[in-house]
């Protein structure tokens, strides 16, 4: 079964440094999502792409976070500078289309970020 690929699996960085996460969605999935999951909480949407366009980044801290999906396929999420409160699991998900469970989200295994 096709999977969403994410790298790296784990990242430890010092505060004020820059970090980047990469995601390769399932082939053919036009919608791509980045979620942040703090330990003990459910995932929260950071940004949603439809092809190469951002359709929802209302919860993305834009002073330090950026996301791109230049060719409408893979995507990169960047944090600069990292803060202690950014320690979390960063999950990427993809779906054929947004907004319905007939097109469910498929999640990758995430990147566990620790900021020291």
Partner 1 sequence: QKEVEQDPGPLSVPEGAIVSLNCTYSNSAFQYFMWYRQYSRKGPELLMYTYSSGNKEDGRFTAQVDKSSKYISLFIRDSQPSDSATYLCAMIEYGNKLVFGAGTILRVKS
**Least distance from partner 1 to the Cβ atom of residue 16, Å:** 27
With CB under 8 A as the contact rule, which of the stretches 14-22, 34-42, 66-74, 76-84 interacts with partner 1? Answer: 34-42
Residue 25 backbone phi and psi in degrees, to 5: -75, 175
Alpha carbons 36 and 90: distance in angstroms, whole number:
5
Give me 43's structure tokens. 């995932």
Can residue 41 be called a binding residue for partner 1 (CB under 8 A)? yes
List the interface residues with partner 1, window 51-110 (CB under 8 A).
56, 91, 93, 98-101, 104-110
Write out the H or E segment, with its range, that includes residue 55: strand 53-56
Can residue 45 be called a binding residue for partner 1 (CB under 8 A)? yes
Residue 19 backbone phi and psi in degrees, to 5: -135, 155
Contact footprint for partner 1 (CB under 8 A)? 4, 40-45, 48, 56, 91, 93, 98-101, 104-110, 112
């Amino acid at each position: 079964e096709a999977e969403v690929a994410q790298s790296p699996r784990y990242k430890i960085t010092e505060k004020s440094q820059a970090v980047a996460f990469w995601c390769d969605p399932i082939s053919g999935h036009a919608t791509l999502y980045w979620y942040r999951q703090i330990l003990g909480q459910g995932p929260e949407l950071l940004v949603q792409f439809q092809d190469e366009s951002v359709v929802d980044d209302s919860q993305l801290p834009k002073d330090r976070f950026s996301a791109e999906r230049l060719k409408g396929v893979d995507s990169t999420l960047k944090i600069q500078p990292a803060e202690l409160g950014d320690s979390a699991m960063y999950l990427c998900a993809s779906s054929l289309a947004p907004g319905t469970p007939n097109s469910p989200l498929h999640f990758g295994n995430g990147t566990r970020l620790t900021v020291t």
